[in-house]
Amino acid sequence: MLVNNVHINDLKELQNSKYKAINNLVSDITSSPNLFPYKLDIQNKRIFFAKMNEKLYKKSFFILSPGEGPGFLKSEYTFSMNFDLIKNIFKNHAYKNNSSIIYNHGFCCSTLLCRLLEESHKVLSLKEPPLINTLKHHLQSNDDSQLIDIIFSLHNRSYKDDQRVLWKPSDYAFDLIDRSESLKIPSIYLFSPLREYIASCSKEKRTEWIKNRADYNKIIKYFNLSESEVDISNTAIQATLYWCYFAKKVNDLSLKNNILALNSNNLLNNPHIVDKVGAHLRLKKKFNVFKRTNIKKLLTTYSKTDDYKFDKDSRTKQLNKIINDNIKDIEKAEKLAEIILNCQIKDFKFKKEII
């Protein structure tokens, strides 16, 4: 568990010799990723940093931050600062796009895609950075362009000139897509076929996850549906509304060519498609003598850490059983999707898709 033992109220405190290491890191904060912002307390105006290096970034899966064990955020030490100090540092810092994004609706192998890209391309991966979620939540009731610029800039720093930063925000942060599109950040939307997604959301414990994931009454209004005709208490319906919301928004935005969709089945059945993804995300290839071995290993570990063994055949078998056990609810949900998307669900295609 990350424990914060130092708080900086004023930059003058950093002149104290005991804070020399922190002072050096803060001095380079606009260009170096050695300080990763893992928590932002907007109400109390505090931001928390973890000291990082490239190896620690690769080992960390920030959705689990902060915690212990495989996949949790790794760091040499942490400290906090008054957020106003960071605002002052970044107030004259011009945002220069050095980032690429993998958006997703959850349960679609987005972490796997991120790790596959790491093997073959020059990237610094930020897997589900917490401040992106904090930003999305804050913007629901605030219009704060300064905060957007600061958080985007803090997630836009790499170690080398030819190394881009690859964000894999959680599905919860999806609505930031409007902002990233305005900045022309190249993006991928990774998705599972609707039937598979419904099955993924129907697994034990995940039913509560999808139940609380969105304001379904708000999504119904977004689609101009009648609330009396949609049972938002049903898991399959919840998953369908969530999936269709993402799909419609991506289709509307894809006309600008910054975002392309990618079917997770295409990724699992053809890992070479990663090269096409890397090209769209403007990532530079790297030489990796262990690439083939590591990619084979990733496709058998299949998840957030090497400690989790689960391959695509196991996934397919598990999902097919859930689909068969819930087929009536799923078929009803698919009919709702066809009304929303104005097509047969088997014929649905994204306007811009990597195949």
pLDDT tens digits, 213-250: 999 999 999 999 998 989 999 999 999 999 999 999 99
pLDDT, residue 303, reads: 56
Q: Is residue 24 pLDDT above 80, yes or no?
A: yes
* Residue where a domain terminates, one of 70, 92, 114: 92
Q: Where does the pLDDT of residue 204 fall: very low under 50, low under 70, confident under 90, or very high at 90 and above? A: confident
Find how far residue 227's CA is from the centre of its chain: 30
Instruction: Give me the mean pLDDT over the 332-347 stretch.
Output: 96
Determine phi and psi for 334, rounding to 5 degrees.
-65, -35
Can you give the pTM of this predicted structure?
0.93
Q: Where does the pLDDT of residue 327 fall: very low under 50, low under 70, confident under 90, or very high at 90 and above? A: very high
For residue 225, what are the contacts with CB-CB under 8 A and spacing of at least 6? Answer: 339, 340
Q: Is residue 84 pLDDT above 70, yes or no?
A: yes
Residue 1 lies in a domain: yes
Tell me: do 248 and 342 sit in the same domain. yes
Tell me: do 80 and 67 sit in the same domain. yes
Tell me: do 100 and 244 sit in the same domain. yes
Residue 26 lies in a domain: yes
Report d(CA 142, CA 239) in Å as an integer.
Answer: 27
Tell me: do 240 and 345 sit in the same domain. yes
pLDDT, residue 47, reads: 98
Q: Is residue 309 pLDDT above 70, yes or no?
A: no
Round the average pLDDT of the chain to a whole number and report it.
91
Report d(CA 152, CA 135) in Å as an integer.
Answer: 10
Neighbours of 163 (CB within 10 A): 18
Residue 152 lies in a domain: no
Closest CA to 42 of 142, 128, 129, 126: 142
Tell me: do 82 and 101 sit in the same domain. no
CA torsion angle 104 131 29 259 (round to 10): 20
pLDDT, residue 67, reads: 67
Tell me: do 78 and 41 sit in the same domain. yes
Q: Is residue 302 pLDDT above 80, yes or no?
A: no
- Tokens of residue 99, six digits: 């980032």
Report d(CA 14, CA 8) in Å as an integer.
Answer: 8
Structural domain that includes position 20 = 1-92
pLDDT, residue 12, reads: 94
Tell me: do 325 and 343 sit in the same domain. yes
Report d(CA 338, CA 123) in Å as an integer.
Answer: 38
Burial (Cβ within 10 Å: 0-12, 13-18, ≥19) of residue 81: buried
Tell me: do 76 and 175 sit in the same domain. no
Strand pairing class (123-127; 99-104): unpaired
Tell me: do 181 and 292 sit in the same domain. yes
Residue 145 lies in a domain: no
Residue 129 lies in a domain: no
Q: Where does the pLDDT of residue 208 fall: very low under 50, low under 70, confident under 90, or very high at 90 and above? A: very high
pLDDT digits (tens, 9 = 90+) for 58-75: 888 777 666 666 678 888
Burial (Cβ within 10 Å: 0-12, 13-18, ≥19) of residue 348: middle
Residue 133 lies in a domain: no
Q: Is residue 77 pLDDT above 90, yes or no?
A: no
Tell me: do 44 and 108 sit in the same domain. no
* 8 A C-beta contact, residue 53 and residue 34: yes
Tell me: do 52 and 201 sit in the same domain. no
Q: Where does the pLDDT of residue 300 fall: very low under 50, low under 70, confident under 90, or very high at 90 and above? A: confident
pLDDT, residue 294, reads: 86
Number of domains in the chain: 2
Residue 127 lies in a domain: no
Q: Is residue 152 pLDDT above 90, yes or no?
A: yes
Burial (Cβ within 10 Å: 0-12, 13-18, ≥19) of residue 334: middle
Tell me: do 26 and 101 sit in the same domain. no
Report d(CA 109, CA 268) in Å as an integer.
Answer: 9
Looking up residue 250, the CATH number of its domain turns out to be 3.40.50
Residue 15 lies in a domain: yes
